[in-house]
């Protein structure tokens, strides 16, 4: 058999096309090397009939699609180089018993082998997850899928940022809940357990707690846990022997932690990154990582709001820490408000005792009306203390001296002055009055 003119023309054309083909191949190889996406081409042997049931197609793709070529990015996703990946089936690195990992393959088949974008989570163990987005394009000929291209992109950082932002928003929602709770009647401790539980759940932590720093007689410090919470499976109670009675800062090497808290710095760490002595208490609690934010009251460090993770080594994000700071500020404000109320109550009690022991008549007025008085003043005016409360001061002033008293009241004068007082029976007697403006039950 001899070659005819057609064969000659084909050979000539092939020679003419060779440089263009080589240039295209070079561009293709450069693209694979430079792209930030993982790209691989899979060949199917035997080819898959596109009309076969979906489950059969999934099984054959796992067993019979082998990597013909891939770039460095694709290989690194699986801890290998391109040469080590070539020839492997997709089933070698996609578990066939994980429905989530098979989701992309099923979407590829249902899209008639033109999957534009799909996301799936790959569990890596120890609580960590890698998120991958993928697109795939199959080559179908005569009703059979012969090969396909797969393009993967690691979107873990984006997904992590989204999750951190969402978790921060959940914590802030919990902060609003806590603020509303702490405004209700009662002490902050009566609401503490519910508040700590709400914050722990919002943060997605295994445990949460509020601890107060107390000073020992010898000057050393101790953390006393006021409220604790644990998710199901990691429950913990306030009577837990591991911290009941408090945790000595010196015994557990927590001095550096104390310094950071006192300086207003939040602390978030993996337990394994701490020194051996600093690991002792978190390890005792089974924590693998933790975050703590300081609580301040009246400008002074009071204690901290803490969160522990026992299930995996969790990295705490900046948005989460900022949200936890807001939670600590709400708790600190509630403690400070309660302290202020208690101090006011004690001050009023001291005033009552002092005024009760005084020889002078003492009264508290607001807008010219009696709101409180001691027994001595009531006796001078010929009545009981209860008879004075709520009555205008002017009722106990001689008519001709009303202007004198009214003038001093309006001027908020604190200078002593004299006038004639009127008893309940109408009799008059001279008095010297000294007045001071002072806060009383939140008013002045």
The tens digit of pLDDT for each residue in 166-178 reads 888 888 888 888 8
**Rounded (5°) CA angle 93-98-102:** 75
Superfamily in which the 358-433 domain is placed by CATH: PAS domain (3.30.450.20)
Architecture of domain 35-154: 2-Layer Sandwich (3.30)
Predicted structure pTM score: 0.60
Largest interatomic CA distance in the chain: 150
pLDDT digits over 140-191, tens only? Answer: 999 999 999 999 999 988 888 888 888 888 888 888 888 888 877 778 888 8
307 vs 374, residue with greater confidence = 307
Residues of the chain with CATH 3.30.450.20: 35-154, 358-433
Superfamily in which the 163-342 domain is placed by CATH: GAF domain (3.30.450.40)
Residues of the chain with CATH 3.30.450.40: 163-342
pLDDT digits over 330-386, tens only? Answer: 999 989 888 878 877 776 776 777 666 777 888 888 888 888 888 889 999 999 988
Q: How far apart are CA 42 and CA 34, in angstroms?
A: 20
331's enclosing H/E stretch is helix 318-357
Residues 371 and 365 sit within 8 Å (Cβ to Cβ): yes
SS3 at position 362: coil
Q: How far apart are CA 257 and CA 212, in angstroms?
A: 14
């Amino acid at each position: 058999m001899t070659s005819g003119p057609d064969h000659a023309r084909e050979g000539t054309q092939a020679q003419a096309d060779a440089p263009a083909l080589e240039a295209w191949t070079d561009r293709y190889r450069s693209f694979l090397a430079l792209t930030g996406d993982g790209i691989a081409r899979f060949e199917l042997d035997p080819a898959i009939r596109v009309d076969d049931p979906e489950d059969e197609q999934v099984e054959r793709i796992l067993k019979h699609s082998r990597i013909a070529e891939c770039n460095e990015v694709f290989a690194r996703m699986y801890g290998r180089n391109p040469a080590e990946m070539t020839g492997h089936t997709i089933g070698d690195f996609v578990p066939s018993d994980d429905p989530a990992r098979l989701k992309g393959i099923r979407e590829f088949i249902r899209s008639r082998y033109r999957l534009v974008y799909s996301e799936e989570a790959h569990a890596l163990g120890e609580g960590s997850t890698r998120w991958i987005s993928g697109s795939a394009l199959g080559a179908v000929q005569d009703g059979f899928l012969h090969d396909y291209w797969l393009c993967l992109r690691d979107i873990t950082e984006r997904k992590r940022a989204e999750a951190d932002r969402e978790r921060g928003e959940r914590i802030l929602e919990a902060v609003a809940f806590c603020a509303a709770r702490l405004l209700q009647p009662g002490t902050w401790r009566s609401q503490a357990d519910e508040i700590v539980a709400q914050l722990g759940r919002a943060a997605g932590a295994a445990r949460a707690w509020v601890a107060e720093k107390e000073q020992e007689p010898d000057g050393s410090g101790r953390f006393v846990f006021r409220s604790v919470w644990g998710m199901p499976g990691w429950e913990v109670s306030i009577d837990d022997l591991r911290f009941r009675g408090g945790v000595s800062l010196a015994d557990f090497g927590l001095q550096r932690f104390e310094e950071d808290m006192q300086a207003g710095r939040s602390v978030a760490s993996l337990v394994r990154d701490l020194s051996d002595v600093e690991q002792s208490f978190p390890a005792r609690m089974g924590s693998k990582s933790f975050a703590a934010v300081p609580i301040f009251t009246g400008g002074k460090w009071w204690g901290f709001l803490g969160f522990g993770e026992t299930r995996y080594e969790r990295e705490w994000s900046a948005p989460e820490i900022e949200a936890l700071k807001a939670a600590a500020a709400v708790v600190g404000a509630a403690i400070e408000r309660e302290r202020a109320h208690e101090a006011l109550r004690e001050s009023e009690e001291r005033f009552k005792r002092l005024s009760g022991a005084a020889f002078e008549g003492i009264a508290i007025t607001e807008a010219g009306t009696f709101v409180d008085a001691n027994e001595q003043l009531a006796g001078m005016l010929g009545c009981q203390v209860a008879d004075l409360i709520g009555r205008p001061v002017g009722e106990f002033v001689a008519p001709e001296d009303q202007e004198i008293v009214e003038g001093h009241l309006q001027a908020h004068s604190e200078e002593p002055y004299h006038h004639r007082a009127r008893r309940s029976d109408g009799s008059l007697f001279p008095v010297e009055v000294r007045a001071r403006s002072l806060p009383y039950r939140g008013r002045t």
